[in-house]
Structure 1
Amino acid sequence: MGHREDLLEGAKRCLLEKGYARTTARDIVAASGTNLASIGYHYGSKEALLDLAFLKLTEEWGDVLTKRRGEGTDEGGGTPGTPLDQFRDTWERVIDSYQRNRSVWQLQMEVISRIDQDPELRKALIGPQREGRDGLAENMLGIDPEKDPEKARVAGLFCQALLAGVMVQWLMDSDSAPSAQDLTDGLKVVLEGRAS
């Protein structure tokens, strides 16, 4: 790897360990084994580097959603049987990531709190946020954004709102936060319009 890649990897580690506001240029340099001048040369500023590192971390997390249960293992893989199975399976992966990668979720909350003070960060997040909605609609509900873009858009908005709310619950009180089965059962109740 060259300095550019080393800086990006170092910035990602710093974000997960220290968060956005507490990461200094010197922290990134120490984590990457590079020098201060490299940040400006390759990225223009520490903030631009941190913004990109955050986007890369978010993309990596998104890969968790696209993997089906058993993919890459002896379990087989493939698409779950019903849309509700797919919804539950995806939520199992999401909730597992809350438990295993709490620092990613804490970072998400910190970055959200910064967007009013950082117009460049806001601009950088708009495209990935929209793409994320399509990905959520496809992975959680099986809606193809290419075939039905409007349906994917509104379903993605729903999934994104649900994702943010569940994230907050898991960060605040994981003991009472919903499980994948709770969310699936809740969706059934909403769809039925009454309790089972």
Structure 2
Amino acid sequence: MGNREDLLAGARRCLMEKGYSGTTARDIAAASGTSLAAIGYHFRTTRALLDEALVEAMADWGNELRRTLAVEVGPGASPEERFEAAWTRVIESFARLRPLWAIQFELIAQMDRSPELREAFATANHQARIGLAEVFHDLDPVADEAQALTLGAFYQTLLGGLAAQWLVDPDRVPSAADLTRALRTITAEFTT
């Protein structure tokens, strides 16, 4: 690995251990085995380095979620069974990825002071919506981007709300079975 890759790896470790606001340039230099000057040379600012490291971490999380949800429930599984199995795996992933979720919520509070951060999150939100629609509905976003964005926004809302609840009180976060029952109730009300 070169200095740039070492810096990104060090920044990611620091993000997970110290959070976004708690990470300093010195922390990253120490974690990456590089000099402080290397941060300026490769990224111009510590914030730009942290932003790129966070975007990489979120992309890795998206890929992990795809792999996690790709596990088939069974060929004869109903849509409800697939929904419940998928959300069981999503909720289980919160414990492994707690630092990443905490950082995202930390940064939401700082977006008014950082247009670059807001833009990075807006771009990531768009991609996340499309990715979630692909994962949960096996949609081709090119064929119907509007539908993918609508469905993805629903799943993103559910995902973000569950993550927030899990961070506050992991013992009382709704289970996948709770979500399935709630969705069944809501859809029944729409069809009557």
Query: TM (normalized to structure 1)?
Result: 0.88
Match of 2:45 in 1: 45
The one-letter amino acid paired with 1:31 is A
Structure 2 runs not aligned, ≥5 long? none
State whether residues 90 and 139 of structure 1, in contact with CA within 8 Å, keep that contact through their aligned partners in structure 2. no
Question: Identity rate of aligned residues, in percent?
Answer: 46
Residue 188 of structure 1 aligns to which amino acid in structure 2?
Answer: R
Moved more, 144-153 or 97-106: 144-153
Q: Deviations over 1:115-169 (max 9, x none)?
A: 1111111112222210100111222244332232222111111111111111111
Q: Does the 8 Å CA contact 1:68/1:78 hold for their aligned counterparts? A: no
- Give the Cα separation in 2 of the matches to 1:108 and 1:152: 23
Residue in structure 2 matched with residue 129 of structure 1 by the alignment: 125
Residues 108 and 130 of structure 1: is their aligned pair in 2 closer, same or farther, counting only changes over 3 Å?
Answer: same
User: Counterpart amino acid of 1:175?
Assistant: D
Q: Of the candidates 56, 67, 92, which is equivalent to residue 96 of structure 1?
A: 92
User: Structure 1: any 5+ residue segments left out of the alignment?
Assistant: none
For 2:75 and 2:130, how far apart are their aligned partners in 1?
18
State whether structure 2 residue 182 is matched by structure 1 residue 189.
no
Task: Describe the shift of the 1:52–1:134 C-alpha distance in structure 2 as closer, same or farther (beyond 3 A).
Answer: same
Tell me by how many angstroms 1:37 deviates. 0.5
Structure 1 partner of 2:172: 176
Moved segments of 4+, more than 4 Å: 68-71, 76-80
> Residue type matched to 1:125 in 2?
F
**Secondary structure of the corresponding residue to residue 171 of structure 2:** coil
Distance, in Å, in 1 between the alignment partners of 2:62 and 2:108 is 17
Number of aligned positions between the proteins: 190
* Equivalent residue, structure 1, for 2:31: 31
Deviation at 1:93, TM superposition (A): 2.3
Q: Structure 2: which amino acid aligns with 1:169?
A: Q
- When the two chains are superposed, the root-mean-square deviation of aligned CA atoms in Å is 2.1
Which structure's residues are more often helix, by fraction? Answer: 2
Is the contact made by 1:83 and 1:141 (CA closer than 8 Å) also made in structure 2?
no
Within the alignment, does 1:144 sit opposite 2:137 as a pair?
no
Deviation at 1:192, TM superposition (A): 1.3
Once the two structures are superposed, the pairs formed by residues 103-114 of structure 1 within 5 Å of their partners are 103-114=99-110
| C-alpha separation in 1, matches of 2:110 and 2:8 | 20
